[in-house]
Structure 1
């Protein structure tokens, strides 16, 4: 499959001194992806192409549809063509394992999920506050402050698409050893911050790693309610963001027993919930 994570586009660069020049600029790809479950349309999300099966698997974890790899029988690209007749790769067909019920039709997304909103189109507020099958309050994760402070830089070092475009979010999953050292085990980029997280979670599901005990999910943007929920649904005990959390994100993290970190920059962080896991 051709991965269309970036595309070259012509641009006119204007300068304050009155000069200009024509050049090519590398942009982050953004295309719709329709998710079908058992042949029925379920959601359309705007994403950066690449890692589509991980994205769909992670999305289904976030929706509470699956939590074990064996619950997905198959993932495959569905029908769809571009104007030039080539395959679009913008439809993914999901077949669940025999006996595994599909998503509740009343919770289906009735409008597309944009790259800026991961819960837009959810049919009811009850669908937003799903409970995870994985407990995180008793997770024995402990992370030295110095290691926590280093995570944003390590995430940034691995952002290849951002290096080319400056236009994508990133999520990195770090596994924490008994000695407190953190190893980056998965990094994904996407125009949607929720998609980047879903791609990480979907990778973990397909690798048989759920629940993600003793891990930290480092994200490049803010910590929204939806990102805390996605982390909780995957059994992640700690979420760290370089920017601010929302009030609902903090409330959900505290309720779930998660550690939530914001403004992780340079030599300081704000710990909004679960500060006992951070060893200063």
Structure 2
């Protein structure tokens, strides 16, 4: 088993071919991460998210950006002070709207908001809303090769079989970066947080692959980063499709077995 903070060994009883035996297994770690902001000498907790340990700095950066809390141009200092606590310090003169954070509720697909209000709130928050357009086109064969490339890179999934992944690809299907986590939204925040730290945003000439289904919050986070095409191994939700269509994002689902469905933005695909 490779050394990784996101893996933990476990002895289990395994039933195979009518017999029960003791075996060694590996589990994906799930622990809470407390994300805090320090601004003007005051430090407050912004969120507690259940995640797989590792790349907590990327996760904090990506979360605060994709949730619309901090703009991309703000140069913050990120410090992992102790286990499961990360503090993001704003530069002198930069403030955060604490009242807005208290009202901040639209970004989760399970928060109870839906329909037109959700789409309008997200559209107002996206910094690269006009970037994607139809600026690039992709042949279907490129979409079909993405799952195998991401699967090959998934170290934690290989060990546990119970973890989500997201992959960022170039327009020819080359894997540029990926992230894994027990939470699909955390995996995407880690990936976008890395891109943010590297100064790569907007990701308007890239493809994004989700290892599972495409939910509203994942499309929202992708749109925040300026991504124009999102593909998923699983199915999208109705609100995810509505948001993708509103944001001009091409959304593909059920990418498996040499084919896929296109739910909106088909003009980016060359047949």
Q: What is the TM-score with the length of structure 1 in the denominator? A: 0.85
Matched, 1:6 2:10: no
Given the superposition, is the C-alpha separation of residues 139 and 209 from structure 1 closer, same or farther in structure 2, using an over 3 Å criterion?
farther
Distance, in Å, in 1 between the alignment partners of 2:161 and 2:91 is 40
Aligned to 1:47: 51
The structure 1 residue matched to 2:146, chosen from 147, 151, 157, is 151
Aligned to 2:85: 91
Matched, 1:100 2:94: yes
Answer yes or no: is the 8 Å Cα contact 1:33–1:91 preserved in 2. Answer: yes
The structure 1 residue matched to 2:162, chosen from 139, 163, 167, is 167
* 1:121 Cα deviation from its structure 2 partner: 8.2
Question: Number of residue pairs matched?
Answer: 258
Deviations along 1:91-134, whole A, 9 cap, x unmatched?
000012333332443434899xxxxxx72786977688423010
Aligned to 2:210: 219
Distance, in Å, in 2 between the alignment partners of 1:6 and 1:228 is 28
Matched, 1:73 2:76: yes
* 1:75 Cα deviation from its structure 2 partner: 0.3
Trace 1:106-125 onto structure 2 (pairs within 5 A). Answer: 106-108=100-102, 119=108
Distance, in Å, in 1 between the alignment partners of 2:104 and 2:29 is 24
* 1:151 Cα deviation from its structure 2 partner: 0.6
Distance, in Å, in 2 between the alignment partners of 1:156 and 1:249 is 24
Structure 2, unmatched stretches of 5+, are: none
Given the superposition, is the C-alpha separation of residues 124 and 103 from structure 1 closer, same or farther in structure 2, using an over 3 Å criterion?
farther
Answer yes or no: is the 8 Å Cα contact 1:211–1:234 preserved in 2. Answer: yes
Answer yes or no: is the 8 Å Cα contact 2:145–2:173 preserved in 1. Answer: no
Trace 1:236-255 onto structure 2 (pairs within 5 A). Answer: 236-255=227-246
Distance, in Å, in 2 between the alignment partners of 1:23 and 1:254 is 48
- Pairwise CA RMSD: 2.3
User: What SS does the corresponding residue of 2:5 show, helix, strand or coil?
Assistant: coil
Aligned to 1:29: 29
Deviations along 1:120-149, whole A, 9 cap, x unmatched?
786977688423010244251211110111
Distance, in Å, in 1 between the alignment partners of 2:79 and 2:4 is 16
Aligned to 2:65: 61
The structure 2 residue matched to 1:257, chosen from 245, 248, 267, is 248
Aligned to 2:20: 20
* 1:50 Cα deviation from its structure 2 partner: 0.6
Distance, in Å, in 1 between the alignment partners of 2:216 and 2:112 is 17
Answer yes or no: is the 8 Å Cα contact 2:164–2:181 preserved in 1. Answer: yes
User: What SS does the corresponding residue of 1:214 show, helix, strand or coil?
Assistant: coil
Structure 1, unmatched stretches of 5+, are: 80-88, 112-117
Distance, in Å, in 2 between the alignment partners of 1:188 and 1:71 is 23
